[in-house]
Structure 1
Amino acid sequence: MVEKPVIGFIGLGLMGHGMAKNIRQKGYDLWVRGRSNRAPIESLLALGAKEAASPADMAAKCDIIHLCLSTSAQVEDVLRGSDGILAGVRPGLIVIDTSTADPGSTVKLADELMSRGAHMVDAPLGRTPKEAEAGTLDAMVGCDEALFDTVKPVIECWAGTIKRIGPVGSGHKMKLLMNFIGMSYGALYSEVVVLGAKIGISPQTIRDVIGPSRMGNGFFETFMRYVVDRDRDAHKFAISNAAKDLRYISNIAADARVVTVMASAARHYYAHVEAIGRADDYVPMLSDHVGALNGVNMESESKKNSEK
């Protein structure tokens, strides 16, 4: 019987905690490292996980390390820092980066790991923290086929749908294309509900008409659950992350010499919200900010129409 690899997990936020929990509950030895919020760390320690002193310490103890961070800068720091993964790397170590990251950075880090006999896999995520807790996320994987066969049983702990996209870096490319669509939806829906309010069509009516039509989708449903019902937690994806992903898309497009008018237009809305200090708002709240730019209070619009 083949012994299970020892797993590490760095980044225990909204997505990472559920992923790490499912790895541990599937019987893997697990080392974790979080940040200032102790709650997810203590939760995992109670399940039998152990806490690593640093990324380098984790690299010395683990066979496979997951990263679930916010930006490529954070990923680079975890790998290249003085007590980073590269400082403790052993031949054969596999790093699975589930962050939504810049593919150019991913490929460079993969080369640095390869020079030390280690490997990088990019496996960014689809779906929400709810699916992270349930172990039914989507995974878009970038690595060679042999490495994919090695990591797939571990990814199956937290993913219900797993698709190998191509070589390292391609998973992050696919995820950014997906988020290009999603964040553009956020900008489009924000304009639609604000324009609707201006011309006498309520957010409730827009949801009732569009939701069951061919143009309805899961993103629309959670977006409108905030706009209409004011459910802050309906779609927990921060505007800071949306803006970051659209910046990465713009970088990819510039390198590919592709015109992306839609991406540039959407990016400015999210950049505006960052600039006014509201980057921690969730994506559906963009509708409030677009409303404010147009003299419309979307919360009042929603309440006004719900009372009819």
Structure 2
Amino acid sequence: MGGGMSANIQRAGYPMIVYDLREEAALPLLDGGARLANSPAEVAAASDITFTSLPGPYEVEAVSLGSDGVLQGIRPGSVYIDLSSSRPTLIREIEPQFRARGAYVLDAPVSGGKTGAASGNLAVMVGGDREVFDRVKPVLDAFGDKVFYAGEIGAGSVAKLVHNMIGHSVRQAIAEGLTLGVKAGVDPEPLWECVRRGALGRMSFLHEGLVRTMFRGEFEPASFALHLAHKDISLATELAREYDVPMPMSTLAQQISLTAMNRGWGNADSSSTVRLQEEQAGVEVRAPHVDAERSSRFITTHPDAD
């Protein structure tokens, strides 16, 4: 992904100095006028903004803090931005060491894959000082069409991990549902169309439902009652047993809804199950200032938005 993002920065007209363990990976940028450095420290010494895009925490620590790393060459007033999906704790440990040298650090992991990196269709989730973010945002806009300020240092990395965790969990639930549906006799294409054109496919809970319920701590009156949701998921897991389809995610969701029912929340909104998660996590997710009507209009205008 680093190659695609770098190419878009270069196309935006920014002069570049680059480094890669595999020199051949940098050839397209060198052909475009970039200069090759001998180390991350040399890149940082010659740059106002230094980016890294690396496989994970081990590489981030080695390249930022190691021998001939970014920290060794960083100049006062310059900015180090790590685009990797990494450990939030690590970037929070790295930042004070750069601050001691008068430099700034942002964590800015991205979502959109190699295709998005090449086309510039990336979500960029940024943590760090807000003024620094505002200053460098035009460069981030060169490779990301959805650049968000998430909060203080590490917030971008937290947001990216949460994003991917939810995505992988939803993917598993979708796989369970589609295998159940096909084994129970529905062709894949119409089944897929039914799922993607329903409330799930429109992501109505993410865009509007949780704004009205979880963000406000209000679960009555119900948009769709918990006892009805429990009935539906119980019928689905019953069907799965009939057709010998394993449903680990769905079975867990059924048990959670049953626990919520036993708390007396059967007539509350089906999203009241989130209260159990909040209790166990020891935190409430509240943002009552978010405009639910604006979120609702977003769904209508962008039915396939993710």
Name the amino acid aligned to 1:23: I
Cα RMSD, aligned residues only: 2.1
Among 70, 77, 92, the residue aligned to 2:55: 70
Q: Distance in 1 between matches of 2:182 and 2:147?
A: 41
The alpha carbon displacement at 1:197 in A equals 4.0
- How many residues are treated as equivalent by the alignment? 206
Name the amino acid aligned to 2:86: A
Among 153, 172, 177, the residue aligned to 2:138: 153
Among 203, 207, 227, the residue aligned to 2:188: 203
Q: What are the Cα deviations for residues 70-116 of structure 1, in whole angstroms up to 9, with x where unaligned? A: 21111111012112112222222211111112111111011111122
Is the counterpart of residue 79 in structure 1 residue 102 in structure 2?
no
Structure 1 range deviating more: 186-195 or 167-176: 186-195
Task: Report if aligned partners of 1:193, 1:202 keep a CA contact under 8 Å in 2.
Answer: no
The alpha carbon displacement at 1:128 in A equals 3.1
Residue aligning to 2:208: none
Among 157, 167, 176, the residue aligned to 1:172: 157
Larger radius of gyration between Structure 1 and Structure 2? 2
Is the counterpart of residue 29 in structure 1 residue 21 in structure 2?
no
Is the counterpart of residue 212 in structure 1 residue 197 in structure 2?
yes
Mind listing any 5+ residue stretches in structure 1 that lack a counterpart?
1-14, 219-256, 260-308
Secondary structure of 1:74's aligned partner: helix
Is the counterpart of residue 192 in structure 1 residue 215 in structure 2?
no
Residue aligning to 1:162: 147
Percent of matched pairs sharing the same residue? 35
Q: What are the Cα deviations for residues 182-205 of structure 1, in whole angstroms up to 9, with x where unaligned? A: 111222222223333443334334
Q: What are the Cα deviations for residues 44-70 of structure 1, in whole angstroms up to 9, with x where unaligned? A: 111111221111111111111111112
TM-score (normalizing by structure 2): 0.62
Among 17, 27, 30, the residue aligned to 1:42: 27
TM-score (normalizing by structure 1): 0.62
Q: What are the Cα deviations for residues 123-173 of structure 1, in whole angstroms up to 9, with x where unaligned? A: 111223223222232211112222112211211111212221111111111
Structure 1 segments, 4+ long, off by >6 Å, are: none
The alpha carbon displacement at 1:207 in A equals 1.4
Name the amino acid aligned to 1:201: V
Q: Distance in 2 between matches of 1:181 and 1:214?
A: 17
The alpha carbon displacement at 1:29 in A equals 0.9
Residue aligning to 2:246: none
Mind listing any 5+ residue stretches in structure 2 that lack a counterpart?
204-279, 283-306
Secondary structure of 2:145's aligned partner: strand
Q: Distance in 1 between matches of 2:177 and 2:58?
A: 34
Residue aligning to 1:17: 3
